[in-house]
Homo-oligomer: A and B are copies of this chain.
Amino acid sequence: MMTLSTFESKKNYHHGDLHEALLVAALEILEEGVDPKALTLREAARRAGVSAMAPYRHFADKDALLAGVAMIGFKRLAIALTAADSNPDPREALLGQGVAYVTFAGDNPALFRLMFGHASPDRSPELSETSFASYKILANRVASLVSPDRVGEWTLLCWTTVHGLAMLALDGRLTRNPDSPAVLAERLLRLLGIVTGAGLTPS
């Protein structure tokens, strides 16, 4: 009866929406542990209630499913960063983004590890663009704090700081430090000086 007029017509056939169901199942699996290796094509198919080969009608191979899951992860990350960026004080907003970044990683360890590490970015331009969106959210905020010709390096510095912190925290390499990763993120970003305005002064 109702024909899906959009180009997104790969829905409602036998299963209903296997494409989506597989992504949901995969996310479920990732939420149950910290190891993305636990994410198995067959397990996702099992949870979706289909055979082991059914996913291949919707994803070229396992990596394609992984890329799809990573895409969802990047979208969620972008949403979290945007929400955290709402503080009227631009410096606090930047701080908030950093805290949100490591918090996201800590709340979704397996997904975060999948987003980076796995899922080669050049493999899918679409995924590459989606992940770049998060970068732009950060860059825009940094642009409100430093001179235009320094936005690039300051953005990269903020990014590497929170990303490195998130990764080290996930790997359990900060256990000697009593503070939570989120607390550490805030402290390190303040150390950067950008929040206190030091980054604004020309050297």
Contact = CB atoms under 8 A, between A and B. Distances in A.
Interface of A: 113, 116-117, 120-122, 131-132, 152-154, 156-157, 159-165, 167-168, 171-177, 184, 187-188, 191-193, 196, 198, 203
A193 B197 CA distance: 13
A120 B173 contact: no
13 contacts: A116-B167, A121-B172, A121-B175, A122-B175, A131-B173, A152-B177, A153-B191, A157-B191, A159-B168, A160-B160, A161-B164, A163-B168, A198-B198
Contacts of A120: 171-172
Contacts of A192: 157, 192
Contact of A191 (B154, B162, B171, B196): B154
A138 to B, nearest CB: 13
Given A113-B117, A160-B161, A196 B203 contact: yes
A168 B160 contact: yes
A157 B193 CA distance: 12
Given A117-B113, A121-B172, A171-B116, A160 B156 contact: no
A118 to B, nearest CB: 9
A153 B137 CA distance: 26
A188 B117 contact: no
B173 A121 contact: yes
A193 B116 CA distance: 29
Contacts of A132: 176
Contacts of A184: 156
Contacts of A161: 157, 160-161, 164
Contact of A160 (B152, B175, B188, B196): B188
A69 B174 CA distance: 21
A174 B131 CA distance: 12
Given A161-B164, A193-B198, 15 more contacts: A116-B173, A117-B167, A121-B171, A132-B176, A153-B187, A153-B188, A153-B191, A156-B177, A156-B184, A156-B188, A157-B191, A157-B192, A160-B161, A163-B167, A164-B165
